Structure 1
């Protein structure tokens, strides 16, 4: 059986943002999911070939000055055109760790994803304000949801 590949492209510069990325990965690797391989790559290490091999992608970023992280922006700058034609319709999801309201970050990423013609599988998760331990459960659920959807051929 050929496994589907779920790519998690998450910027994680702090302990809490690493915990979020790890929670998404944990959910995606749930023991009941058999036909999906999940992999987490930092944006600066992610290459167009990683996206070309993916059957779904979860993006994770911090809110930096009302925008996405520079690392995620760099990822989009390098990967946009090399994958544009081949990955239209790619199932995607997003979470943002926002110290403020996250609206600028969401708008910027939505604009790029629209240009790529990727398909949102759910509304982006916005983890805003002070850290809450519940963020981890939501992140894990996001990974599980995306992985289960790929496993069941829903996405």
Structure 2
């Protein structure tokens, strides 16, 4: 029997729609098509370096706040960066952003930090831009499913 992999989802979800996005990512990651992955879902404030160290891959979710990542996700990075720096190099990750505008500053901010951590992006960030669109949910499900399936298959 193969050892179960751990997919950590660190998502800031302060509104009903951002909770729906997070829940869609989780739904995809916990698909019945994926059996060998444990999915751990935490807010950035509740995530510790130990959670990151135990994860085989990470999905980060944030809102765009004043053209940058949420303060909650920045707090997560502030607390976890140095304790995880040497131990998590090469860690696969993906990012989704709920952006009222274009999301580019938010993406740049997150990518700058994960570049320093030397994490490996395994797909393009999912940018949910502008007014709410129900299609965001299907793309979020796919993000969770693809990361969990890739982790289970050993390709990440």
**TM-score with structure 1 length normalisation?**
0.99
Counterpart-to-counterpart distance in 1, 2:43 and 2:84: 18
Aligned-residue CA RMSD (Å): 0.5
**Unpaired runs of at least 5, structure 2:** none
Mapping for residues 2-151 of structure 1, pairs under 5 Å: 2-151=3-152
**Unpaired runs of at least 5, structure 1:** none
- CA offsets per residue over residues 37-72 of structure 1, 9 Å max, x none? 111100000000000000000000000000000000
Counterpart-to-counterpart distance in 1, 2:35 and 2:108: 34
* Runs ≥4 residues deviating over 3 A: none
Alpha-carbon shift at residue 2 of structure 1 (Å): 2.2
SS in 2 for 1:101: coil
Q: How many aligned residue pairs are there? A: 155
**TM-score with structure 2 length normalisation?**
0.98
SS in 1 for 2:96: strand
Counterpart-to-counterpart distance in 2, 1:110 and 1:81: 16
